Amino acid sequence: MGGFAQPYLEGLNPAQREAVEALNGPVLMLAGAGTGKTKALTARIAHLLATRSAQPNEILAVTFTNKAAREMKTRVGALTGHIEGMPWLGTFHAICVKLLRRHAELVGLKTNFTILDTDDQLRLLKQQVAAAEIDDKRWPARMLSGIIDGWKNKAWVPSQVPVAESSAFDGKGIELYAAYQQRLKDLNACDFGDLLLHMVTIFQTHDGVLKEYQERFKYILVDEYQDTNVAQYMWLRLLAQGHKNICCVGDDDQSIYGWRGAEVGNILRFEKDFPGATVVRLEQNYRSTGHILGAAAGVIAANKGRLGKTLFTDGDDGEQVRLIGHWDGETEARWIGEEIEAMQRGTRGIDPMALNDMAILVRASHQMRAFEDRFLTIGLPYRVIGGPRFYERMEIRDAMAYFRLAVSQDDDLAFERIVNTPKRGLGDKAVQTIQTTARTNGVNLVEGARLCVEGGLIKGKGGAALRELVQGLDRWFAQLRAEADTHVEVAEMILDESGYTTFWQNDKTPEAPGRLENLKELVKALENFENLQGFLEHVSLIMDNAQDEQDDKVTIMTLHAAKGLEFPAVFLPGWEDGLFPSQRSMDESGLKGLEEERRLAYVGITRAEQHCCISFAANRLVYGQWQSQMASRFIDELPEDHVEVLTASGLYGGGMSAAANPASVGMGSHLHDKAASADVYNSPGWRRLQSRSQQRPVAQPQESRNMVIDMTASSSHTVGDRVFHQKFGYGEVMEIEGDKLVIEFDKAGEKKVVAKFVVGSAQ
Ligand code: ATP
Ligand code: MG
């Protein structure tokens, strides 16, 4: 080994080095947040390569998110310099897609199978439920989707589901599952859960294939092992039975996917599964300040049934965790926006920070909207990772359906989506004719449509339009394979020739320009991929869309998606009972759900390096209803020494509170003792707010929301004002037309934009 440069070993502590250098045999690294587990795992890959213990393609490394995989790739690249080829590095799903494409025929699929998203999956299940004549009010398809996902996470094919599990759906659960799987096969498609399930099935039934990969993968590495489900666990165990060089790292305190079938027991069982395993424990935290660690430790200590770990840091205590209460979700978003701007400018008594170094981690994705709206209004750049997002928008899904059909004409779901989008005069009846023709002839819908065209089964304008569509689909299918044009060019062609772009160009709704922008973004995103199939695969797999990562933006994401990541400053809003911990976990009997929520709180706090701010609101609009909220029980568990309670007084000055005051509710009595005694509620600002809410006539929630919007939209722009717009930057108001402004932008030229997305600029 001595002959190789080993820079990746420098800066590791002795325990980490042990985990890196114990190359042969099973290794378990069990340690708390921020102790360098992922760092050690990455160094281990570098070590395997540098010592030539394995070829890159003999290493299999599983990460939990695509973002983590990307980061690890970069880190391995940096550590090892130039090495030919890259290890198999990705999420369980990404790796399984790759394998499944090679062996698709073993489970009755073709290599170019499609991966359905949850929307398609649901549509398909609805059809199954309807076909079985089951009352979908009593047994909604969404529930079936949850049940089937659960079974797949346990690696059960229909014949393996215990009968006792199948009382739902009038006792037809297993039958529906089997029918659904058959339908997927007919469509040459699989859902997310199938990626693993099919691979486990293949490994279990084709010894030759399993042996091949057991031989191939000399070294297996798994990050975030505490969150593997049974199917993933079985897949790993099967593969590792070859060389038994498996290194798993995890933290039982960060197990947060129990609701999705993850079994923290897997990590506890490791030593039994792999006798003689080297177990490494790490205790030094390199990420967070003392106060942040102290706060996190205080919260997690309330969980029972932990392995129990100590964490220490050599670093400073730093700033205490900040805690602040707000009137409602809007004021919370407003305050955080101001706080972020102050941190960016360096006017909060700390050095200026980049927006990239700040993150807002929410419990539920519906919390994101308030931040998005607010940041759009003040022109604060942000990115949203996870949750409903770019690729789930209507125009993107439509465009992708076209792309999917260009890749595979078997994709009936995609065809159903676009057959009359844009409108071609093909109503339900025409679609039914196509479906019937396809069914009778045992062909896919594109073929069915072709038969309809040739047989003259659909008359008039619709018939002509259908002919054009089928010809288009054939042309795009051929063009994609001819390779005369790049896949990006073909994609643009598809959007133009299908009439889809024109459709939005002619649309007069205010959203249309944004949708066209999105379509442009989509085509731009294609450039990063070798071909269309690779791109579609990527989209179905992503949990995070990290576009333009070089730009300086605040990150907004869910706590679940933030696992394994770190940020110098973290905001944790919405710490209220019913939101965090979630209502469901509180309603459950037993502590299981609540303990998982608490681990999520621990994950949240431990993402922060230097600054952590927890907040809650006394009122929150949840699904259109105002609710008065109680501060989270987790707030009571924060050790006082590590927390600074901020007074909210500054918040309610000026005219802001009048508009933000949604309803009169007696908050103080709802709040937990600890939080109620906190200064927030004794502050002059809070009392002022309360007395005001008693004096004023109670504003109806909807009304007050309009007031908030009015205020931020500010119709007070006048011609000649300098303004700022999130997308187009700085410009000057030329004309005012109702709620729209015509603006001459410095860079983007003249545009008509909605006034509420424009803010006055001092510049
Ligand atoms: P999590 O449980 O949150 O996934 P982790 O245990 O995987 O955390 P890492 O992300 O690997 O922790 O490391 C946390 C931070 O500490 C990183 O910024 C990493 O670079 C740093 N770090 C890890 N080990 C060391 C070390 N020996 N010396 C200095 N810094 C370290
Ligand atoms: Mg990690």
Statement to judge: residues 370 and 295 lie in one domain: yes
CATH number at residue 723: 2.30.30.140
Q: Are residues 531 and 614 in the same domain?
A: no
Residue 598's nearest CA partner among 299, 228, 367, 297 is 299
Which among 287, 292, 566, 607 is the best mutation to test ligand 1's pocket, defined by most ligand atoms within 8 Å of the CB? 287
Question: Is the pLDDT assigned to residue 622 strictly greater than 70?
Answer: no
Q: Does the residue 106 lie in any domain? A: no
Residue 140 lies in a domain: yes
Q: How confident is the model at residue 176 (pLDDT cuts 50, 70, 90)?
A: very high
71 CB under 6 A from ligand 1? no
Query: Is the predicted pLDDT of residue 444 greater than 90, yes or no?
Result: yes
Does 38 participate in catalysis according to the annotation?
yes
d(CA 723, CA 715): 13
Domain end, chosen from 710, 731, 749, is at 710
Q: Domain range for residue 174?
A: 114-187
Domain count along the chain: 5
- Decide if 479 is catalytic: no
Predicted local distance difference test score (pLDDT) of residue 542: 52
What beta strand segments (E) does 492-607 contain?
554-558, 567-572
pLDDT exceeds cutoff 60 at 544: no
Asked if residues 408 and 116 have their Cβ atoms less than 8 Å apart, the reply is no
Average pLDDT, the chain: 83
3-state helix, strand, coil in the chain (%, to 5): 50, 15, 30
Question: For position 301, what pLDDT does the model report?
Answer: 93
Half-sphere exposure of 488 (CA within 13 A, CB side): 11
Q: Ligand 1: which atom is nearest the Cα of residue 565?
A: 3
What pLDDT digit, counting tens, does each position of 679-736 carry? 444 433 333 334 333 332 222 333 222 222 222 243 467 788 887 765 677 788 888 8
Lowest mean per-residue pLDDT among 103-117, 186-200, 525-539: 525-539
Ligand 1 site, residue 37, Cβ cutoff 6 A: yes
Average of per-residue pLDDT across 122-139: 87
- The model's pLDDT over 226-243, given as tens digits with 9 standing for 90+, comes to 999 999 999 999 999 989
Q: Which ligand is nearest to the CA of 223?
A: 2
Question: Which CATH number covers residue 531?
Answer: 1.10.486.10
Query: What number is the average pLDDT over the span 269-295?
Result: 93
Pocket test for ligand 1, best of 12, 39, 600 (most atoms within 8 A of CB): 39
62: Cβ below 6 Å to ligand 1?
A: no
pLDDT over 90, % of the chain: 52
Of 258, 284, 310, which one is at a domain's C-terminal end? 284
- Please list the residues that pair with 27 across neighbouring strands: 247, 278
For residues 728 and 704, state if they share a domain. Answer: no
Tell whether 621 and 555 lie within a shared domain: yes
CATH number at residue 159: 1.10.10.160
Residues counted in the chain = 763
pLDDT of residue 694: 36
pLDDT range class, residue 602, cuts 50, 70, 90: very high
Cβ–ligand 1 distance for 448 under 6 Å, the answer no
Return the CATH number at 326.
3.40.50.300
Q: What is the pLDDT of residues 134-158, one digit of tens each?
A: 888 888 888 899 899 999 999 999 9
The rounded Å distance from CA 427 to ligand 1 centre is 58
Quote the pLDDT of residue 541: 65
Which one of 172-181, 364-373, 476-485 scores highest in mean pLDDT?
172-181
Residue of 226, 286, 570 to test ligand 1 pocket, by largest number of atoms within 8 Å of CB? 286
Based on the domain organization, do 483 and 577 belong to the same domain?
no
568 touches ligand 1 (CB under 6 Å): no
pLDDT (mean) for 373-397: 75
> Do residues 678 and 726 both lie within one domain?
no
**CA-CA distance, 620 to 626, in Å (whole number)?**
6
Q: Mark whether 235 and 178 lie in a shared domain.
A: no
**Residue 586 and residue 689 in one domain:** yes
In a domain, 605, yes or no: yes
Let me know whether 702 and 563 are in one domain.
Answer: yes
Q: Where are the beta strands (DSSP E) in 366-520?
A: 382-385
Nearest ligand to the CA atom of 68: 2
Which residue has better confidence, 38 or 622? 38
DSSP structure class, residue 606: T
Whether 384 has a pLDDT exceeding 50, the answer reads yes
Q: What is the pLDDT averaged over residues 361-385?
A: 82
Domain-embedded: residue 611 = yes
Task: List CB contacts of 661: < 8 A, sequence separation 6 or more.
Answer: 327, 689, 692, 693, 696, 699, 704
230 and 172 housed in the same domain: no
Whether residue 351 is found in the same domain as residue 269? no
Band of residue 462 on the pLDDT scale cut at 50, 70, 90 = very high
Last residue of a domain, one of 187, 212, 241: 187
Query: Environment class of residue 56 by beta-carbon count within 10 Å: exposed (0-12), middle (13-18) or buried (19+)?
Result: middle
511: amino acid identity, one letter: E
**Quick one: 365 and 422 in the same domain?**
no
Whole-number pLDDT of residue 11: 87
122 in any annotated domain: yes
Nearest atom in ligand 1 to 12's CA: 27
Tell whether 278 is in a known binding site: no
Poorest-pLDDT segment among 146-155, 262-271, 535-544 = 535-544
Q: Across the strands, what pairs with 622? A: 625
pTM to 2 decimals? 0.72
Q: Is residue 37 annotated as involved in ligand binding?
A: yes
Q: Whose CA is nearest to atom 11 of ligand 1?
A: 36
Asked if residue 238 belongs to a domain, the reply is yes
Least confident among 31-45, 130-144, 190-204, 732-746: 732-746
Task: Give the Å distance between the CA of 552 and the centre of ligand 2.
Answer: 24
Query: Is 39 close to ligand 1, i.e. is its CB under 6 Å away?
Result: yes
Q: Which range, of 48-57, 207-216, 593-602, averages the lowest pLDDT?
A: 48-57
| Residue 192 is assigned to a structural domain of this protein | no
pLDDT at 657 over 60: no
Beta-carbon contacts of residue 155 (< 8 Å; ≥ 6 apart) = 196, 197, 200, 230, 231, 234
Residue 651 confidence (pLDDT) above 50? no
**Active-site position among 16, 38, 63, 214:** 38
pLDDT 10s digits, 333-360: 999 999 999 999 999 989 999 999 999 9
Determine, yes or no, domain membership for 573: yes
CB of 604 within 6 A of ligand 1: the answer is no
Provide the pLDDT for residue 160. Answer: 94
485 is catalytic: no
- Sign of the torsion angle spanned by Cα atoms 477, 478, 479, 484: positive
